[in-house]
Each structure stands twice: as C-alpha cells, then as structure tokens.
Structure 1
Amino acid sequence: MSTRRNARPAVKPGARVRYGGVTWQVVALSGQEIHLVGPDGGGQAVLAGHLFADPGFTVIGADTPQAAPQWGLFETAPAAAREKALAWRRHVREVECGLTGGPGSEGTVRPQYDPQRHTLAEREQAKAQELTALGFGRVSRTTVQRMRLAYRKQGLWGLLDHRTTRASSPTGRADERVVAAVREALRRRRGRSRGTINGLFPLVHQILADRHGPGTVPVPSQATLYRLVTTLARPGELPTKPVRQVPASIEGRAFTPATALRPGEQVQIDTTRLDVLALFDDGRLTRPELTIAVDVATRAILAAVLCPSATKAVDAALLLAEMAVPHPARPTWPHILRMDRAPALPHQRLAALDERLAGAAARPVALPETIVVDRGKVFVSAAFTAACEHLGISVQPAPPHAPTAKGIVERTFGTINALFCQHLPGYTGSDVTRRGPDITHDACYSVPQLQDLLDEWLVHYHHRPHQGLRHPLMPKKALTPNQMWAALLAVAGHVPVPLSGRDYLELLPVRWQSITPAGIRIHHRTYDADFLAPYRGQASPVAGRSGKWEIHYNPHDVRQIWIRLTDGHLTEIPWIHRDHVHQPFNDHTWQHIRTHAQHHTHGDAEHVEAHLADALDQLMRRVHSGHATTTEQALVARTAAVPLPAAHHPQHDRGQGANDPTEWGQDDSIDDLDEIPDTEDDEAGLPAPRTGFGLYDAHEEADKW
C-alpha cells in the first residue's frame, strides 16, 4: 500500500531518524523510551520528548508535512483563480504519481504519466504539452516543475495565482513625494480645529516646494488630492466623517472496508437533530444538532459536538481537534470516570508517554487515518477537507443514496436516543406519534448543559459491553469500547510526532475584525497591545475582506486572541482585563455576566467593560470560596482546571444580606484563588495558565520526565 501524501510522520520500529546529527534506526518502543541503533552498531535509549525536541530531528524517508493551510486567505481569491488552482492540483498529482486524486486513489494511470515507464522530467514535459493543448497558454516544463515544487511546499495556496490576491496600494500610482507631503500636512493639522479638505491643499503645495523646490514635483489634480487625503486621514480627521477624538499618540466513488483492525483506521462522521428540546439563548425551544465521530474498530465515540443551529465548518474542525487529544475529566465527575481509575485501560503505559492522561476521562483517543462522511456541504467543504489534508487524514465521501456505507454511525445515533435522550426532560420521541402532548413544558436544559450531560454519559457508554466487539481469543464475550481499544492499542500502537504550536493556532476558529483606535472589540471585550500602534484605524492588506484583519480565537478561553499582521505570523493579543481575571472563561460565562449586570452598567464602553470584568472576578471568587449558587458553580465548572467546592445557598448561610451579590466574597483576598485545598487524593491541580493554547513545550516536558 502506498503511503498517503502529507501524512504525519510516525516513529515506529524500523524507521530511520536523524537525531543529534547522526542517523539512527528505531528498534523498539518501551513506554516513554525509544531505543535507537547507530551506524556503528552502538545503541542508545532516548526519551520521546528529548527526541522530538532536538532541532535537527527528522524522520528519514517521510514526507515533510505542509504547514497549516491559510484557508481563510485562500477563500478571498476570486472564484476563477481558486478553480484554476484546483485544476493545477489534479495535474500536479498526476505528474507525481500518475493519478489525479493522489496516491491510493481510484483511476487508471495514463501511459505518458506512468512512473514505472517514464522519468519525472519526461512526465513534466508531457504535462506541459498537454496543458498547452488544453488552452493554459504556453506552458513549459519549467512551469510544471515550479508548480509541483510550490504544491509540495505550500499545498493548494502555492498553486494560486497570487496576482489575484495582491492588495492594491491605497494610494494607487500617485507620486511618493506627493503622498509624503499629504501625510506631513495631516500630521501638522492634528490637534487643531478641523477645517475643510480644500484648506489642506495650500499646505501640501508649500511642503512640496520647501522639500523639492518650486515646480520640481508636478502637483496632481484636485480630485487626486481629495482621494489621497481621504485615504490617508485617520478616523475623525475629516469633517465629512463622524467626529471621534483620536489621541495624537496613537500611530470517484467511495470504498468502505468491511472491517478495521486498528484504532483510527476508519472513522465515520455524521450529523443529525437530537431527539430532545433545548432552550436556546433567544428563548426558543428547538432540537439542537449533534455531530459525532465513531471509530469502526472499537465502536468508540471519539468526539460529539452539539450546535444550537446548523453545523458549520468550524464545528467540524473542532470535531477533528477533539478526536486527537485526551478529553479532560470534569472536577465534579466520579473518580471512576477518570482514565487512571478505569481497570480496562492501560493507563500506566499511556501515562508514561504523557502524564496528562492521568487526569483525562476514560475515553479512547485516536487520530483518524480515514474519515467516511456523507455528501453534506459541511463535510465536503474546502475548509474541512483542507484541515483533513493537513493532518494526513483521507476523506471518503459515501456513495449517493447508500446509507449502509455509514451504518455504524447511523446505528450509534439510535443508541444515543435510546440510552440518553429518552431519559431527559423535553424528549420528543423518534416521530410525532411517540411525542407527548406538551413536551415544551418539560424542556429545561440549555445547549451547553446538554453538552455537559452528553460528555459525562459518553464515558459511561465506553464502559458498556458492545455486541459488535469480539476478541479473537474470546469470541463469546462482548467487549466494551475501552477494552477493545486497549487490546488493539497493544498491537497497533505508535508514537506520532506532535503538531507544532503554529499549526494549532492556524486550526483555531477564524473571524475578521477591524483594528479601532481603542484596539479590537469582540462581544464588548477589548483586546489591545502596544505593537498595534501602526495598525490602528488602518485597513488590512487582505483583498476581499473590507479592510478587516484575520483573528484566531480559542472558544474555550477568550482571555486572548491571535492576529495575523503584515509579517504573516499569528501574534497574541491579551484582553485588557486579563490580569484581573485569573481563570479561563468562555463566551457563555461572559454572556451570563452581561445578562445579570446589564441593569447595573452605565457610562461609556470602558466603564462598562471594567464593571463586567469586576463582576466576572467576583463570580470566580464566590465559586472558589464555596459561596456560589448551583447555577454559578456549574457555569464555571465547564472551564475550571481544578476541583471546585460544593455550591452553597447564600440565603441559608448568611441570612437576608446574602442576596446582595456585592457582599459575597468580600473577605476573600486575591491569593485565595491560588490556595485551593487538596482533595482526598491530593490531585488538585494548579490554576490554569495565563496564556497559551493548550500545548506543551517539548523541552519542558522532557525535563519533567
């Protein structure tokens, strides 16, 4: 079987790696140690963390994985340019392996592109002649070679005609000396009373004469000067714009294998409406949409995401991320639901590779090799397929009108409805004939609450025997998904090379925002940093986004965002009140604070935001001191990294004065947040890190091992 292009390299017995400037061969894996044999026959045992952290570490013979695709920028290109890039990808793949779909795809290899009969140079020459005949223009072999190398380095982004994405200069073809004079005239006018645009032209003429001599620089027309002044002026500097005071200092057909023999070999994904009513934020009672990923080999539900509305590509990408990382156990869950307490899982061997698995939920974790999806627009979208291609995952669309191609995931939906949904208030039944007379009065859970209940139920599901799981040595005994995962992991395990921090940032959800003089405003939160000074009030160079900038955010911790500036890298920008709130929080918690504080917030936006930050801090204090209500305790528990004390009822503990939220936790100092009492098993963790995106540093982890 041919190796899938762009698959993540893996360290396994027989692989050859480059470590410490020497080429080694992997002979064995033992827990956290990787045993290597050098060219002189000498052996060495290396910790996995030190091996991956070596600057010169590579897996010899493995394809270098591409960087995370900048799909948000690719979608800004014109449709014709995107279609041409997709056409080039098919031709480049045919030159490399003979098949337009890539290695392992279906189809017949044409004789002129057969790698067994022709060299790469001959195949490039044949492709150049074919493209010239098809109307691509005069295409030479050098052009085909350049496109092939660009695809290897940058993926689909490298095949795009970047002339269509290059942003035009805001000043057009105007003389740079005139542009500099207009900027200087605007600078001199700052801090003074605003006049008309016409009143600025004599000053521009004077600056040109003083710098370059009278008559040296041709003066453009009045219309050109109007356009330059309007383009270069800051918000509030023109009389025709809204007045805003700006400080002067601000600068083919799918193939579905019948069986899967290892975890992640085939994963089926599908979406359906859950058979239970949920209370949405706008007050509506509607059935939420559930998207799950089921592993065929173990019948494990690797990820499950509930969405209030239709599932989007971002939700599907979040599903991919949840499959490949351990699921953290909630502080309020019983200890038996943690991986280190589950008797069926090899937690000691797994924790030796990654100690964070000790605090994870007792659920299987696997990075899919092949994903089988239906032809829904979310799963065949360019964003979802690009994310799968970056992770080395093969996507197989199911044949049309063939529900049996995804029979396992379809049957799993029935299991969820039978074992989970029917026990919840607001259950709608499978059809109207099984629906109660007035189920709307029973519905009481919101979508986040249903997600919490579902996450806990999924751990129980993986401890339940499944009739479709049988061990070859015990064919009469039905195994649980956890038992099957442990059995297959022992014979098909390997150590995948971890993704880099930049790749995780690129795969975070994306939104487009403007940079205002005060910073970046998202849901009444302000993100700001000193390095934003040259970009305040300026338009983004990205064409097709109305001057907005590309922002990446973590939906589970909104205390910081990441912005892509003109250097092309993602840079972190903190929330201006991040130092005041010492624990992670999500948008749901923030909206809860806004809803309950809306009658007490008056004044400008800065005052309101400071008041909301203080209310959020008081909420954290009440929760960690044990004086929060059950609703508040459940709200914070979704993002808490440490066990929380049980919720108290203030009216029983403090009398009538406890109903005033401003009196709760007034005696609690800020240090109390760091002094969480130990649990019975001494497993209380430290507070969540102030920044970051859930990754570990390889050097620091290796030193801990």
Structure 2
Amino acid sequence: MSARHNARPAVRVGAHVRFRGVKWQVVALAGQDIHLVGPDGGGEAVLTGHLFADPGFTVIGADVPQAAPQWGLFETAPAAAREKALAWQRHVREVECGLPGGPGSKGAVRPQYDPEQHTLAQREQAKAEELTALGFGRVSRTTVQRMRLAYRKQGLWGLLDHRSTRTPSPTGRADERVVTAVREALRRRRGRSKGTINGLFPLINQILEDRHGPGTVPAPSQATLYRLVTTLARPGELPSGPVRQVPASVDGRAFTPATALRPGEQIQVDTTRLDVLALFDDGRLARPELTIAVDVATRAVLAAVLCPSATKAVDAALLLAEMAVPHPARPTWPDILRMDHAPALPHQRLAALDERLAGAAARPVVLPETIVVDRGKVFVSAAFTAACEHLGISVQPAPPRAPTAKGIVERTFGTINALFCQHLPGYTGCDVTRRGPDTEKDACYSVAQLQDLLDEWLVHYHHRPHEGLRHPMMPRKALTPNQMWAALVAVAGHVPVPLTGRDYLELLPVRWQAITASGIRIHHRTYDADLLAPYRGQPSPVAGRGGKWEIHYNPHDVRQIWIRLPDGDLTEIPWIHRDHVHQPFNDHTWQHIRTLAVHGNHDDAEHYEAGLADALDQLMRRVTTGHATKAEQALVARATTAPIPAARHPQHDTDPTTGESAQHGEDDSIDDLDDAPDGDFSPAPATGFGLYDAHEEADRW
C-alpha cells in the first residue's frame, strides 16, 4: 500500500555513535546488547533500549531521522487544498512506481510511466505534460520533481498549497518597534486601574522615544495604535471587557511469506476477543479485545493492547507507538511502572519490580518495514496509513476472507489463550462446551489489571523456547524469541534506530482546546503551567481550528496533557491538582465524582474543581483501605490497577471476647489516613485462583 522511504539510520558494527556526550564505536551486536568502545579504549555493553533513549544519542555521519508525521495539521487545511494534495499524491506515486495506488496496488502501468522503459526524468516530463492538459495550470518537469521530493520528505503535508495554511499576523505589517512598544505599554498598565485606550498612546510614544530616540520611529496613526492595542491586549485589560472572545468548542487465496530474514521485516497485526471475562466500565462482564503485533522472523510480541470494546484508531496509534518506542524513552515510564507495582494485585507477582523493569527495557523494539493487517477500518484509516507511510512502513492488507494470510499472529492468539488466559479467574475456554458453570462468579479483574498482568507475562514469554524457531546451525534445538532475535541481528549486521519519546507523544490521541486566562479546561479539569502565560487568550498559529491549540493526551491517565507551542515541540502541562491525586485515573472515574457533586456550587470554578479533586482522592483512599462501598470498589476496579480490598462492615468487625463492635465509639472518618506510610496499603495475598508459578513452568519448558 505504501512504498518504503525515509529509512531510519542503523547502528552497525564499526559505526560511531554519540552516547552520554561521548563518541563511541560499535564493536559488536549481541542480542539486546550493543558493545561500545570509548576514546580511551574502555568498553561498555549497553541495552539497545537505554542507548536509543539517551537524549544525546546520535549516529555520527547518518542523516537526521524523520520524526512522526503531524497528521493533525493536514486536517486543518481547507477541504479543497486537501483534495488537491491527495490528487498530487496519486500522480507522484505513478511517476515513482508506475501505479497511482503505490507499489503492490492493482491496475496496469501506463506505457509513459513504465519504470522499465523510461527514466525518472522522462516520467516527470510526461506527468508535467499530462497535468498541464488536465487543467492544473502550466506545470513544468521541475514542478513535478519538486512535489515528488516534498512528498518523500514530508508526506501529504509537503503536497499542500501552504498559502492556504498560513495564519495572518495579528499585527499585520506594523513596525516591529511599534509592536514592542505597545506590548511594553500594556505590561506597565497591567495590574493598575483601567483607563481608556487613547490614554495608552502617549505612553507608547514615550517608550519609542526613550528606546530609539526622538523622531527615529515614524509616529503611527491613531487607527493603527487602536488596532494594535485591541489585538495585543489580554482579555480583561480593556475597559470594554475582553477584547478577543475565545471561540466556542468546534468542533485470491491467502499468501504468507515463507520466511523473514530480519527482525521487523514483516509484522502481523490483528485483533481478537480474549478468552477471559473482565469487568467493564458499565459494570457488565464481557471479553475484552486484544490487539497484538507479532514479528514474523522471531515470533516476538512487539506490542499488546487490551481495550474493553471495539478497537479504535486511538488503540491503533498506541500500538504503533508501543512497537517503535523503547520503554525507557517513554514519558514517566519508570514512575508509572513503580506506581502500578506498589499495590500488589490479588495474587503473587510473576517477577520482582527490578526484574520486570529490566525485562521490559530489554523487550525487542523495532520500526517495522512491513505491517500485515486485515481490512478493519482502524488499520486502513487515513491517519494510520499516513503515519506508516511517512515513517517508511509498508502497509499490506491481507486478502479478504483469508485468515491464513496472518497465520502467525492467529497462532500467537492461541498461545496467549493457552499459556496465559487459562490460568486466570474468569477464563471462558475457546467455546461454550469448555466453559465452566461459575465463570462469571470467578471473574474479578478489570481490563487495566489484565493489561498489567499481560505485560508482565510477555517478559517471560520472550524467554520461552518456540518450536517454530530453529537456528540453521542447530536445527534440533528450539530457540526463544530473544535468542532468535540475537541470531538474526548478528546475520543482518545492524539494528535500526527506533522512534524517540517525542515521537511517542506525537502518536497519542489529539484534541483541540483553547487556552483561557486560567489555563486549559477539559471536563472541569484545569491544566496550567507558568509557561502558558504568553499564550493565555491568544489564538494558536494553526489555521482552520478557530484559534484552538493542539493537545495530545493519554486516554488511560488524564493527570497531564501535552500542548504544541509555537516552537513546534510538545510540552507537558500538568493538572493543577495532580500532586493531590497520586494514582492514575481515567475520565470515567472523574465523571462519577462529578455526578456525586452535581448539587455543588458551580459558580466558583476553582473551589468546585478543588472539591472534586479532594472527593476523588478520598474515594481512592477508601477503596485502598477497604472502607469503600461495593459500588465504589467496582468503580475503581474498572478504572485503575490498584487492589480492591474487601469492604469492612462494623457489624462484622467484632471483638471475639465481648461480642461488641470493634469500631464502637471510634471515628469513621479517613482523615488520619494521611499518616499511613507509602506502600502500606497492600492487602494480604489472596489464594485459591490457581495461577501458575512461572519458575515451575520454566522447569517444564
């Protein structure tokens, strides 16, 4: 579906890299380890994930790798400009490979665009003549070449007519010295009693004379000054009220390659219902959907994402980020993992914290060359295919009604159900004839808890021998996915550099919000930081969004967002009450808290939000310590990976000697819970679930 271009730089034996501010030479590649030699002759072995996650890491002498595409910007262009860019895309593809749909698409190659008969320059000239005849204007071969190179470098964004995406300057053609003087005058008047706009004119002229000398800057007209003041003033600085009103919300048969010789050469992606019941957000028990990406050459599971309902484009984007970004490079990764580990789940962990951190960091990470998907709309959506095309990933849809085209990923689903799901409470079996009579009663995990267990199990999976993996020199010995990865890396002789933590943020879901005087408001949550001061009440430089700013967010943790400021980088903006609520939560829990406070005072937004944050923290503390009701336990079980202790009822907590309630006369409030030590909220390990022991199973392997 898409041609591979913009190849990422690769770390090879003999290459020079910059790591920790020092120039190193790569002398060996051994599995997930890269052996380096420094300028002083000292050597060091570094995990690929930690090497690539270093902020100053570069491959010396290699081209700068392409970042993830800013797909949200393409959607802001006018519809006519987007249609013309898509038309240019078809013409550019035909010039490059002979087919408008790209390599592998259906159709016949027209003679004038046959790469085997004509050079690239001849095909460009033929396309220029064709476009001129079609009414594109006078198109030259140079124009076709320029559009083709822009498409290689920037994707669809490079094919747009950027005159339609430019935002006019709010100050027009006014002298920058005058604009600076107006800003200074507004700053001096800030915090003082409000005067008239005309009262600022003498102050502006005085600032111009003091800075540049009398008569150096021509005096602007009163109309120009009035326009500049009303444009640059913040809301509430003028006597007439806010100058700029922030806009309201806008809104054949199957064919599978016999072999793959390199890690990442082909990745198979698919979605299925997991054979285990989980507690959904609406309180019902059902089987969640699992989407995984499996490397054909090594059988490594590069990414696995669980969601309660049908897989959406958000989950597809997260899957791409999981495949291509090392764990240590992801924002707040170690802190989140330790947070999830602090309260133990109701069973014995498969691995200690430090072991899991090291195992997760060493999990294979690769930027795929080809992704084989079914024809689900989330995997053939414009956003997903455009991101893959810009990153040089070829997307290959499987033939219709041919499940064997993705036989490896389908078999991996069977492995997960057999080795993971069947050991969990709530396991449903592969059909109704194998389902137990009390499956619904046994189910106790939320989707988030199952995701946590699955991530931990995958660390062990990559050390389990796989019968389908054989080394050419040892055909009778089954290799583990990690061993096969190491063998193929040694044969390939290079390790492609994956994406960075910044690219991980680019692949997160996007929404558009205004920056108000109090910050960014989303569902009665305020996100604010000092660096937003110059942009409060100001429109974004992106045309076509009504002045709103591009916001990226993690749907599983809404305690912070990332905003794209004019410098082009995504900057983290925390929730103002993030330090008060110490556990990740999703919007479902927040909306529940809001329904409980529906009769509160909404006029004072700050006190209302602070009350909601305090209610959320109290709810999590009640659930953690066992003081919550059954409804509250079910709510937090659906929204967090924290353990859910049994609720304590006063009538059950009796003194065995007197028969009286042990809580009689005591305060039932939880205000004293602030003194509890961190990590002391774990309940006693529950038993009786029949979970397997990882070490015992490893002995049987």
Q: TM-score, normalised by structure 1?
A: 0.68
1:665 to 651, 673, 695: 673
Q: Which residue of 2 aligns with 1:563?
A: 563
Distance, in Å, in 1 between the alignment partners of 2:349 and 2:445 is 26
Equivalence for 2:318: 318
Q: For residues 253 and 123 of structure 1, do their structure 2 counterparts lie closer, same or farther at Cα, with a shift above 3 Å needed? A: farther
Q: In the alignment, is residue 490 of structure 1 matched against residue 486 of structure 2?
A: yes
Asked if 1 retains the 8 angstrom alpha-carbon contact of 2:197 and 2:238, the reply is no
| 1:5–1:103 Cα contact (<8 Å) kept | no
Deviation string 1:524-579 (CA, Å, 9 cap, x unpaired) is 32111233334333443433334321111234554432212334332332322344
1:591-649 CA-partner distances (Å, limit 9, x unpaired): 67667887999883322333444456667888999999999899699989xx9999997
Please tell me whether the aligned partners of residues 278 and 426 of structure 1 are also in contact (alpha carbons under 8 angstroms): no
Match of 2:607 in 1: 607
Contact 1:622 1:665 in 2 (8 A): no
- Match of residue 695 from structure 2: none
Q: Is the 8 A contact 2:622 2:628 kept in 1?
A: yes
Contact 1:370 1:396 in 2 (8 A): yes
Kindly tell me: are residues 78 and 188 of structure 1, through their superposed partners in 2, closer, same or farther at Cα, counting changes over 3 Å? same
1:357 alignment counterpart: 358
Contact 2:52–2:498, Cα closer than 8 Å, also in 1 = no
Task: Give the match for residue 394 of structure 1.
Answer: 394
Q: Distance in 1 between matches of 2:502 and 2:453?
A: 33
Would the aligned equivalents of 1:4 and 1:104 in 2 still touch at CA under 8 Å? no
1:59–1:133 CA distance, 2 compared to 1 (3 A): farther
Aligned-pair CA distance for 1:397 = 0.7
Comparing 154-163 and 435-444, the one that deviates more: 435-444
Who is 2:530 aligned against?
530
TM-superposition CA deviations, 1:76-107 (whole Å, max 9, x none): 22333223223323443455566656678888
- Give, in angstroms, the shift of residue 285 of structure 1: 5.3
Gaps spanning 5+ residues in structure 1: where? Answer: 195-199, 245-251, 342-350, 678-705
CA drift of 1:396 comes to 0.6
Q: How does 1:85-234 map to 2 (within 5 A)?
A: 85-95=85-95, 121-167=121-167, 234=235
1:702 counterpart residue number: none
Distance 1:549 1:402, change over 3 A: same
**Cα separation, 2, equivalents of 1:388 and 1:357:** 29
Q: How does 1:365-384 map to 2 (within 5 A)?
A: 366-384=366-384
Return the alpha-carbon distance in structure 2 between the equivalents of residues 550 and 536 of structure 1. 14
Whole-angstrom CA distance in 2 between matches of 1:425 and 1:599: 39
Aligned to 1:248: none
Q: Which one is further off, 610-619 or 492-501?
A: 610-619
**Alpha-carbon distance in 1 for matches of 2:353, 2:107:** 47
For residues 365 and 657 of structure 1, the distance between their equivalents in structure 2, rounded to whole angstroms, comes to: 58
Distance 1:127 1:56, change over 3 A: farther
1:448 and 2:448 matched: yes
Output the CA distance in 1 between the equivalents of 2:253 and 2:239: 60
User: Which residue number corresponds to residue 503 of structure 1?
Assistant: 503
Opposite residue 663 of structure 1, the aligned amino acid is: D
DSSP 3-state at the match of 2:268: strand
Alpha-carbon contact 1:6-1:64 (below 8 Å) kept: no
The 3 A distance-change label for structure 1 pair 523 and 442 is: farther
Letter in 1 for 2:487: V
SS at match of 2:386: helix
Task: Give the C-alpha shift of residue 323 in structure 1.
Answer: 3.0
- Contact 1:9–1:59, Cα closer than 8 Å, also in 2: no
Return the offset for 1:372. Answer: 0.8
Q: Which residue of 1 aligns with 2:71?
A: 71
Cα 1:57–1:175 change in 2 (3 A) is closer
1:421, CA displacement in angstroms?
A: 6.8
How many Å separate the matches in 2 of 1:205 and 1:253? 78
Could you list the per-position Cα deviations for residues 664-694 of structure 1 after superposition, in whole angstroms to 9, with x for gaps in the alignment? 42434xxx559999xxxxxxxxxxxxxxxxx
Contact 1:508 1:554 in 2 (8 A): yes
1:289 pairs with 2:285: no
Separation in structure 2 between the aligned mates of residue 91 and residue 77 of structure 1, nearest angstrom: 20
Task: Determine helix, strand or coil for the equivalent of 2:407.
Answer: helix
Q: How far, CA to CA, are the matches of 1:281 and 1:201 in structure 2?
A: 54
Q: Counterparts of 2:56 and 2:445 in 1: how far apart (Å)?
A: 50
CA gap 1:12/1:604 in 2 versus in 1, 3 angstroms: same
**What is the deviation of 1:408?**
3.2
1:315, CA displacement in angstroms?
A: 0.9
**Structure 2 residue ranges without an equivalent (≥5):** 209-219, 246-251, 328-332, 655-661, 683-701
Is the CA contact 2:18–2:57 (under 8 Å) kept in the aligned structure 1?
yes
Structure 2 counterpart of 1:84, one-letter code: K
- SS at 2:86 equivalent: helix
Q: What is the rounded CA distance, in whole Å, between the counterparts of 2:284 and 2:89 in structure 1? A: 45
Q: Aligned partners of 1:559 and 1:650: how far apart in 2?
A: 32
| d(CA) in 2 for partners of 1:109, 1:16 | 41
Q: Name the SS of the counterpart of 1:376 in structure 2.
A: coil
Structure 1 residues 357 and 278, CA gap change in structure 2 (3 angstroms):
closer
Relative to structure 1, is the Cα distance of residues 311 and 171 closer, same or farther in structure 2, using a 3 angstrom cutoff?
farther
AA at the equivalent of 2:485: L
Contact 1:337 1:459 in 2 (8 A): no
Alpha-carbon distance between aligned partners in 1 of 2:173 and 2:464, rounded to the nearest angstrom = 70
Moved more, 136-145 or 631-640: 631-640
Give the deviation of 1:231 after TM superposition. 12
Task: Please state how far the C-alpha of 1:398 moved relative to its aligned partner.
Answer: 0.9
**Does the 8 Å CA contact 2:254/2:404 hold for their aligned counterparts?**
no
Percent identical pairs in the alignment equals: 67
TM-superposed deviation, 1:149: 3.3
Q: Are the counterparts in 2 of residues 89 and 156 from structure 1 also a CA contact under 8 Å?
A: yes
> Greater CA deviation, 370-379 or 122-131?
122-131
Query: Once the 2 structures are TM-superposed, how far is the Cα of residue 4 of structure 1 from its aligned partner?
Result: 3.5
Deviations 1:486-516 (A, max 9, x none): 2312212243335344323222221111222
Q: Which has the higher contact order (CA 8 A, sep 6+)?
A: 2
The aligned amino acid for 2:267 is: V
What is the RMSD computed on CA atoms of the aligned residues? 6.2
Query: TM-score under structure 2 normalisation?
Result: 0.68
Letter in 1 for 2:486: A
Q: Secondary structure at the match of 1:395?
A: strand
- Take 1:298 and 1:55, find their aligned partners in 2: how far apart are those partners? 30
Return the alpha-carbon distance in structure 2 between the equivalents of residues 50 and 456 of structure 1.
23
Closer, same or farther: CA 16–136 of 1 in aligned 2, 3 Å = farther
Shift of 1:662: 2.4
Contact 1:67 1:154 in 2 (8 A): no
Aligned residues, how many?
635
Structure 1 pair 133–22 and aligned structure 2 pair: CA distance change class (3 A): farther
Indicate the residue corresponding to 2:306 in structure 1: 306
d(CA) in 1 for partners of 2:253, 2:132: 30
- Compared CA separation, residues 152 and 365, structure 1 to 2 (3 A): closer
* Distance across 2 between alignment mates of 1:360 and 1:156: 34
Structure 1 residue 395 displacement after superposition = 1.2
Kept in 2: contact 1:294–1:302 (CA 8 A): yes
Within 1, Cα distance between the matches of 2:253 and 2:185?
A: 63
Q: Which amino acid aligns with 2:409?
A: V
Contact 2:254/2:398 (8 A) holds in 1:
yes
Equivalent residue, structure 2, for 1:698: none
Equivalent position of 2:10 in the other structure: 10
* Partner SS, residue 389 of structure 1: helix
- Relative to structure 1, the CA distance from residue 295 to residue 521 in structure 2 (aligned partners, 3 Å threshold; closer, same or farther) is same
Show the counterpart of 2:269. 269
Verify the 8 A CA contact 1:263 1:298 in the aligned structure 2: yes
**Aligned partner letter, 2:405:** A
Distance 1:189 1:37 in 2: 56
